[in-house]
Amino acid sequence: MNNNSISLRKFPYPYRAALALANDIDNTPSLEMFLQMMKLLNSDSQTSLGKGLGLEVGSSFWFFNATKSPQLSYFKGIDSIENDFAVVCRELWNSGHIDVLHTYGDFDEGGFKRKFAEKSINELTKYGVKIQTWINHGNKNNLQNLGLYDSQSGAIPHHSAYHFDLLKSYGIRYIWSGKMTHVIGQDANKTLNIRAKNFLQTVLANFKYRHCEEPLFDLQNRLRIKTLLQDGSLVWDFQRFVNAWGQEQILDINDLTKQLKPSIVKTLITNAGYLIVYTHMCEGLSDFKQFPLKLYDHLKFISKMYQSGKLLIATTTRLLQYSEIQQNLIWQSRQEDQITKIEITSYIEVLDEKYKLSENILEGLTFYCDSPEKVIISFKDKNLKIHRNPKDYMGKYSVSIPWKKLEYPDL
């Protein structure tokens, strides 16, 4: 039995909501632009785009580019010759700042074969890298895509594009098949704003998108949806935020300015939800002078919310992982003399299996308690290092396993 005075907090102390920028790598104009953008977002250094903001923002990457358009990819074209981007990828894989596989590459002109999946996974395995998140890309020629929409063939056994058996063995856990949302915060409090946006999406689903066999929206407003792929594999399919208004967008640097307006950020904090923003954050920036000043102001506001402890900023994978563990954690508390001991079980039961936990992915877990000085947290018979926190905005004390911001490398 859990002690009545102990309860699990939704977000890491002291945050009230959480946001991730899920950057698709396509149409990034140059490696230098990518590096300066990542440095701006993740470091405190001066960049060509302005003073660094000290956030935690990740990106996706490609191994291949099978099109005639210039794109940033690990290999040149569909060969095994490395581009300069490969060295950067390896650095940012290790630091956690490239955390998403945006499919194996750009196959908008067709030509995907299973051998490209094998080469990609072999390369990741060679460097001991574990990428857990996959995001689909492009048009219907990308048969590698995963999900239940038309032409998503990557998980269909016996199809020439089938490859999910390889990804499953490798360890992909979260996919984005195409689900989008206009709701400002998933798994959020049911505020008037949340109810209104859900109603809007219900109307869109029943009228504009009524012919879609697989819905674009999750009307339960979940961040992650348990999804059965065609080969019988269970995965988490997550939603990405496009905008709060409903119109089509390019989702480039200019649209990002609108997506990150202070009013949206404030609403997210009020709604106490998770938000993964769908963006191509370097698209539309062929010149450093094109960087929107309004976007920089919006990012400074986000940095202020982060530094003040109101809004957690994390990479896409860390946000997905934290939400999965927080919502499925198995724990108990018991008294030992005058001490309350919180014991975390070594697994969670999700996707119809037991998923083993490790100490490094427990970061941020926070428990409300009456007397933090009398609480310890244990995992696998080991007492963990914890922070004993003062009262938060709810007036409650807590203890937490420290959330450590990823350290951005000097590139």
State how beta strands 331-336 and 339-344 pair. Answer: antiparallel
Q: Is residue 6 part of a domain?
A: no
Q: Is the pLDDT of residue 307 over 70?
A: yes
For residue 145, the model assigns a pLDDT of 98
Please check whether residues 345 and 222 belong to one and the same domain: no
Bridge partner residues of 311 (DSSP): 17
Q: Is the pLDDT of residue 289 over 80?
A: yes
Q: How confident is the model at residue 212 (pLDDT cuts 50, 70, 90)?
A: confident
Question: Which one of 284, 316, 348 terminates a domain?
Answer: 316
Q: Is residue 91 part of a domain?
A: yes
CB neighbours of 297 closer than 8 A, spacing ≥ 6?
Answer: none
Please check whether residues 254 and 170 belong to one and the same domain: yes
CB neighbours of 215 closer than 8 A, spacing ≥ 6?
Answer: 179, 205, 209
For residue 245, the model assigns a pLDDT of 82
Strands, E, within 328-383: which ranges?
A: 331-336, 339-344, 347-350, 353-356, 366-368, 375-379, 382-383
Question: Which one of 316, 346, 378 terminates a domain?
Answer: 316
For residue 207, the model assigns a pLDDT of 87
Burial class (CB in 10 A: 0-12, 13-18, 19+), 343: middle
User: Percentage of the chain surpassing pLDDT 90?
Assistant: 92
pLDDT tens-digit map of 31-41: 999 999 999 99
For residue 213, the model assigns a pLDDT of 73
* Across 238-251, average pLDDT: 88
* Across 305-329, average pLDDT: 98
Please check whether residues 273 and 378 belong to one and the same domain: no
Please check whether residues 216 and 355 belong to one and the same domain: no
Tokens (6 digits) for 381: 């018979």
Q: How confident is the model at residue 248 (pLDDT cuts 50, 70, 90)?
A: low
Q: Give the number of domains in the chain.
A: 2
Q: How confident is the model at residue 216 (pLDDT cuts 50, 70, 90)?
A: confident
For residue 2, the model assigns a pLDDT of 46
What CATH number did the domain enclosing 261 receive? Answer: 3.20.110
* Across 150-179, average pLDDT: 97
For residue 3, the model assigns a pLDDT of 53
Q: Is 45 helix (H, G, I), strand (E, B) or coil?
A: coil
Please check whether residues 137 and 21 belong to one and the same domain: yes
For residue 4, the model assigns a pLDDT of 56
- Helix (H), strand (E) at residue 318: helix 316-328
Distance in angstroms (rounded) separating the CA atoms of residues 9 and 331: 13
Please check whether residues 235 and 367 belong to one and the same domain: no
Q: Is residue 406 part of a domain?
A: no
Distance in angstroms (rounded) separating the CA atoms of residues 39 and 33: 10
Distance in angstroms (rounded) separating the CA atoms of residues 278 and 8: 29
Please check whether residues 268 and 340 belong to one and the same domain: no
CB neighbours of 237 closer than 8 A, spacing ≥ 6?
Answer: 147, 174, 175, 176, 177, 179, 224, 225, 226, 227
Question: Which one of 316, 350, 377 terminates a domain?
Answer: 316
Q: Is the pLDDT of residue 1 over 60?
A: no
Q: Helix crossing, 293-307 with 262-271: angle to 10°?
A: 30
Please check whether residues 282 and 362 belong to one and the same domain: no
Q: Is the pLDDT of residue 195 over 60?
A: yes
Average pLDDT, the chain: 96
Q: Is residue 411 part of a domain?
A: no
Q: How far is CA 134 from CA 6, 99, 102, 172, 320, in A?
A: 36, 9, 6, 7, 12
Please check whether residues 306 and 364 belong to one and the same domain: no
User: Percentage of the chain surpassing pLDDT 70?
Assistant: 99
Please check whether residues 389 and 254 belong to one and the same domain: no
Distance in angstroms (rounded) separating the CA atoms of residues 63 and 393: 45
Q: Is residue 125 part of a domain?
A: yes
Which range marks the domain in which residue 85 is found? Answer: 17-316
Residue 89, φ and ψ in degrees, nearest 5: -55, -45
